[in-house]
Amino acid sequence: MNRETAFNLVLAAVLLAAPVIAFAANEPFYVALATRIAILALAAAGLNLALGFGGLVSFGHAAFFGIGGYVAGIFASHAMYSEPLPFGLPATDQMPVIWLVAALLCALAALPIGAISLRTTGVYFIMITLAFAQMIYYFAISWPAYGGEDGLSIPVRNSFVGLNTANALHFFLICYAVLMAALALTWRIRDSRFGMALQAARQNEVRLAAVGIRPFRIRLTAFVLSAVLTGLAGALFADLNRFASPSMMSWHMSGELIVLVILGGTGRLFGPVAGAILYVLLEYALGGMTERWQLFLGLILLGVVLFARGGVVGLVAGKARYD
């Protein structure tokens, strides 16, 4: 077992053990904090698929995060009053159905966005993904049906068969399980033929084309998959906060997702987990200490990028074997 695998296992164990202990000690807030970490890690894991493995720096993933959040919010509010959804679909508060719809909608949104954006590269790609996210953001703010800028409250958390989602630990375990499933998927993808081709496309596009693989399709698939995972995280995030709002789609959110990935270690399997743990704990600790917390958060982030290249995982486990 190499150092990175060992570190990954430690991270997974700590993220599971901490909330269980906190719950036993009757400190439900720390369970919620761990849930937040797990969900943001899931969102960043989605972004990592495009950004870390594919080199596609999307500055617009908050759009998918927000779409997922709104799906959860819209289902919850319709289910609450037993109103059918648009197109006569029956409303339900079952999470698996909601996740499926969120995934589908994110894929449907990511397909044209990716197809257009992938015509560009580099900074152009960064900015065109931002532009699409801004369009969706302004749409959400101005659309009155689901609350506009006020956002959409979820009166009762959506439910999951056999579990009580209002119980902090149960909800954490759902999020943790989804995160682990997503990481397992990422791991399988990374080592699959598709994953190899995706990483090859990042490193040397010409060589990939020379062996007869079109990078465009590979990249588009990765972009859509990545959007789906981030969208799932959005649905869970809305259920965690019992609230979906346009600020989930703001460019700040896109920036934060990128920060999580880099902080943890770009292109590292557990990088998003390490990044989310560090970022959420920093925000929590600094916010409690001083109203100038953003200043210190900025200084720490700057320190990490200047002096700890490769993020947390890079610091602990050394350089990635894929670079």
Partner 1 sequence: MQTALVIEQLLNGLQFGVMLFLMAAGLTLIFGVMGLINLAHGSFYMIGAFACAAVAAATGSFWLGLAASLAAAAALGAIVEVTVIRRLYDRDHLDQVLATFALILILSEATRWLFGDFPLYLNIPAQLSGAIVLPAGVHYPVYRLAIILVGLLVGLGLYLLIAKTRLGMRIRAGESDREMIGALGVDIRSLYTLVFALGAALAGLAGAMVGALQSVQVGMGEPVLILAFVVIVIGGIGSIKGAFVGALLVGVTDTMGRVLLPPLLAAVIGPAQASGIGAALASMSIYIVMALILAFRPRGLFSAQG
Partner 2 sequence: MKTSLARTALAISLLMCGTAFAEPVKVGMITTLSGGGAGLGVDARDGFMLALKLSGSKDIEVVTEDDAMKPELAVQIADKMIQSDKVDVLTGIIWSNLAMAVVPNAVGQGKFYISVNAGPSPLAGAKCDKNYFNVAYQNDNFHEAAGNYAQTSGIKKMFILAPNYPAGTDSLNGFKRYYKGELVGEVYTKLGQTDYAAEIAQIRASGADSVFFFLPGGMGIAFMKQYAQSGVDIPVMGPGFSFSQDVLAAIGDAALGAKNTASWSPDLDNPKNKEFVEAFKAEYNRLPSIYAAQAFDTGTLLAAAAAKADVKDADAFRAALAAAEFDSVRGKFKFNTNHHPIQDFYVREVVKNDEGVLTNRIVATSFTDHSDAYAAECKL
Interface contacts to partner 1, rule CB under 8 A: 51, 57, 59, 116-117, 119-124, 126-128, 130-132, 134-135, 138-139, 141-144, 251, 255, 258-259, 262-263, 266, 292, 294-295, 297-299, 301-302, 304-306, 309
- Given phi > 0 = left and psi -120 to 50 = alpha, else beta, which region is 17? alpha
Q: Which is nearer to partner 1, 251 or 322 (CB)?
A: 251
Containing H/E element for 151? none
Q: Which is nearer to partner 1, 48 or 158 (CB)?
A: 48
> Which residue from 4, 48, 6 is spatially nearest to 266, judged by alpha carbons?
48
Token code pair at residue 52: 């870390």
Segment lying near partner 2 (by CB under 8 A), choices 28-36, 177-185, 219-227, 310-318: 28-36
Q: Residue 271, interface with partner 2 (CB under 8 A)?
A: no
What count of other Cβ atoms lies within 10 Å of the Cβ of residue 161? 7
Q: Residue 29, interface with partner 2 (CB under 8 A)?
A: yes
Segment lying near partner 2 (by CB under 8 A), choices 99-107, 189-197, 271-279, 288-296: 288-296
Token code pair at residue 241: 């906060």
Containing H/E element for 257? helix 251-264
Contact partner at residue 73 from partner 1, partner 2, none, CB < 5 to 8 Å by partner kind = none
Q: Residue 291, interface with partner 2 (CB under 8 A)?
A: yes
> Which residue from 308, 239, 307 is spatially nearest to 35, judged by alpha carbons?
239
- Amino acid 289 reads M
Q: Which is nearer to partner 1, 162 or 291 (CB)?
A: 291
Crossing angle for the helix pair 95-117 and 62-80, to the nearest 10 degrees: 150
Question: Which residues are bridge partners to 243 per DSSP?
Answer: 153
Distance CA(252)–CA(245), nearest Å, equals: 13
Q: With contacts defined by CB under 8 A, how many residues of the chain interact with partner 2? A: 34
Q: Which is nearer to partner 2, 85 or 148 (CB)?
A: 148
Q: Residue 112, interface with partner 2 (CB under 8 A)?
A: no
Which residue ranges make up the site for partner 2 (CB under 8 A)?
A: 27-30, 32-33, 36, 138, 141-142, 144, 147-151, 153, 155, 237, 241-243, 245, 247-248, 252, 283-284, 287-288, 291-294
